[in-house]
Amino acid sequence: MPGSPSRLTDDLKHGLDAPICLTWELTYGCNLACVHCLSSSGRRDPDELRTDELLRVVDELHDLQVFYVNIGGGEPTIRPDFYDVVDYAVSRGVGVKFSTNGSTITPEKAQRLAATDYLDVQISIDGALAATNDAVRGDGSYATARRAMDHLAEAGFGPFKISVVVTRHNVAELDAFEALAAHYGAQLRLTRLRPSGRGADTWAELHPTAGQQVELYRWLVDRPGVLTGDSFFHLSALGEPLPGLNLCGAGRVVCLIDPVGDVYACPFVLHPEFRAGSVRDPGGFAHVWRGSELFRSLREPTSAGACASCGAYDACQGGCMASKFFTGLPLDGPDPECVRGFGEAALAAVAAGSAPVPGPVHSSPVRLVRKPAG
């Protein structure tokens, strides 16, 4: 290709004029209380953006030529103005992909979604079996998600996405997820569990083991068609790189707008340290993206720090910033799930209780009361 011989990832590290991948969470309200929820969602925050403010954000994204947004929450579809916002975004050329637990996707809503262009739907499940899923997402949530998938298929929506957070308990079900997606003509999307939100409390028992990470890596290498949101780039240190951008995009190519309009470097770092500003500030979102001190510092060259002497650093780039931050690890050291094992050693050195606590918490904390097994 004509042009500079530099790598694409080097270009992207300096940041873009507007994000490529923007996650927009519309509400902290949710009828579920998943034990790994990255935004600790439950109840709506009274200060969430009003409809007119949401539409103004869409206008801004249009002006910035943000091609599409990933809408989530919380459960975004519980907002009464959800479909108004989606329709307005699509009408302004901002494509929408939204994540849902499926609970509001009735046959009528599925028909409506199927009739809308530039719209992708992503149904979340965290187990191919009801028991595996419901242990994380709550009783009955698997059946609810499957019903939504049935409705979308019956409405002729086309290839919707089935979105799975990979955990220690569902790695064994990867083939079953693939079969489920094939059954619906859907696309499978796997993403990485982060110790964010309520995940901070459950990460230690839910994140895949070292052996499972190797298994997952091999499974993904054999299936380049499985979507990952480029979230497993730390696994690229195991061999050939996985498809996608192998770098942390926080503040460079991705960011998050939360339900009250706060802008964070990525969806997994809801913490004051990574808050860049608010869409309610003068200058709006564009000013935050281009002018925030935090984002500018994230676009500076980073030091490999403790990873400098590791031959795999070029492949894994030191891993995920959010995973390091919420496990109490320094940002210029190994990822807690470093495939060379340096993360485990680093975690052992973190003093108990010293890891940052996710927040501000906008919903009252909700804990699943799990029935004893048996």
Partner 1 sequence: MIDPARPYGLDPQVALRREPFGALAYHYGNRRLTFLRSPDLVRVVQDLGRHDSVDEALAGSGVAPARWPAFRAALDSLAESEVIRAR
Does 11 sit near partner 1 (CB under 8 A)? yes
Q: Specify the residue, 70 or 327, whose C-beta has the smaller distance to partner 1.
A: 70
Does 273 sit near partner 1 (CB under 8 A)? no
> How would you label 156-180 residue by residue, b for 16+ Cβ within 10 Å and e otherwise?
ebeebbbbbbbbebbbebbeebbeb
Does 361 sit near partner 1 (CB under 8 A)? no
Q: Specify the residue, 68 or 325, whose C-beta has the smaller distance to partner 1.
A: 68
The sign of the CA dihedral 203, 171, 253, 12 is positive
Binding-residue total with partner 1 (CB under 8 A): 18
Nearest distance from residue 17's CB to partner 1, in Å? 6
Query: Cα(287)–Cα(277) distance, rounded to whole angstroms?
Result: 9
Q: Residue with structure tokens 């079900």? A: 173
In degrees and rounded to multiples of 5, residue 262 shows phi and psi of -70, 140
Q: Specify the residue, 92 or 370, whose C-beta has the smaller distance to partner 1.
A: 92
Nearest distance from residue 244's CB to partner 1, in Å? 11
Q: Specify the residue, 32 or 61, whose C-beta has the smaller distance to partner 1.
A: 61
User: Edge-to-edge strands of the sheet including 187-192?
Assistant: 187-192, 161-166, 119-124, 95-100, 68-72, 21-25, 254-257, 262-264, 275-278
Q: Specify the residue, 1 or 349, whose C-beta has the smaller distance to partner 1.
A: 1
The H-or-E segment that residue 52 falls in is helix 51-63
Does 65 sit near partner 1 (CB under 8 A)? yes
Q: Which of residues 132-191 bind partner 1 (CB under 8 A)?
A: none
CA angle, residues 110, 102, 140, in degrees to nearest 5: 135
Task: Select from 43, 55, 67, 243 the one that contacts partner 1 (CB under 8 A).
Answer: 67
Which residue stretch of 12-20, 24-32, 267-275, 364-372 sits at the interface with partner 1 (rule: CB under 8 A)?
A: 12-20
For residue 368, count other CB atoms closer than 10 A to its CB: 17
Q: Specify the residue, 120 or 337, whose C-beta has the smaller distance to partner 1.
A: 120
Nearest distance from residue 224's CB to partner 1, in Å? 14
Closest listed residue to residue 270, CA positions, set 278, 262, 280: 262
Query: Cα(60)–Cα(282) distance, rounded to whole angstroms?
Result: 13
Does 68 sit near partner 1 (CB under 8 A)? yes
Which residue stretch of 9-17, 149-157, 259-267, 319-327 sits at the interface with partner 1 (rule: CB under 8 A)?
A: 9-17
Q: Specify the residue, 25 or 120, whose C-beta has the smaller distance to partner 1.
A: 120
Which residue stretch of 15-23, 128-136, 275-283, 355-363 sits at the interface with partner 1 (rule: CB under 8 A)?
A: 15-23
Nearest distance from residue 75's CB to partner 1, in Å? 24
Nearest distance from residue 68's CB to partner 1, in Å? 8
Nearest distance from residue 289's CB to partner 1, in Å? 13
Query: Cα(18)–Cα(64) distance, rounded to whole angstroms?
Result: 6
Does 120 sit near partner 1 (CB under 8 A)? yes
Which residue stretch of 63-71, 149-157, 310-318, 334-342 sits at the interface with partner 1 (rule: CB under 8 A)?
A: 63-71
Please give the full DSSP string across 280-322, using - where no structure is assigned: TSTTHHHHHHHH-HHHHHHTSPPP-GGGTT-TTHHHHTT--HH
- The alpha carbon of 91 is separated from its chain's Cα centroid by a whole number of angstroms, namely 25
Q: Specify the residue, 43 or 290, whose C-beta has the smaller distance to partner 1.
A: 290
Q: Residue with structure tokens 């935050």? A: 288
Q: How far is CA 216 from CA 9, 220, 221, 340, 342, in A?
A: 24, 6, 9, 15, 19
The sign of the CA dihedral 362, 364, 367, 368 is negative
Q: Specify the residue, 122 or 213, whose C-beta has the smaller distance to partner 1.
A: 122
Does 263 sit near partner 1 (CB under 8 A)? no
Q: Specify the residue, 67 or 313, whose C-beta has the smaller distance to partner 1.
A: 67
CA angle, residues 168, 361, 272, in degrees to nearest 5: 95
Task: Select from 81, 87, 93, 355 the one that contacts partner 1 (CB under 8 A).
Answer: 93
Query: Cα(81)–Cα(55) distance, rounded to whole angstroms?
Result: 10
Site residues for partner 1 per CB under 8 A: 1-4, 8, 11, 14, 16-18, 20, 65, 67-68, 93, 95, 118, 120
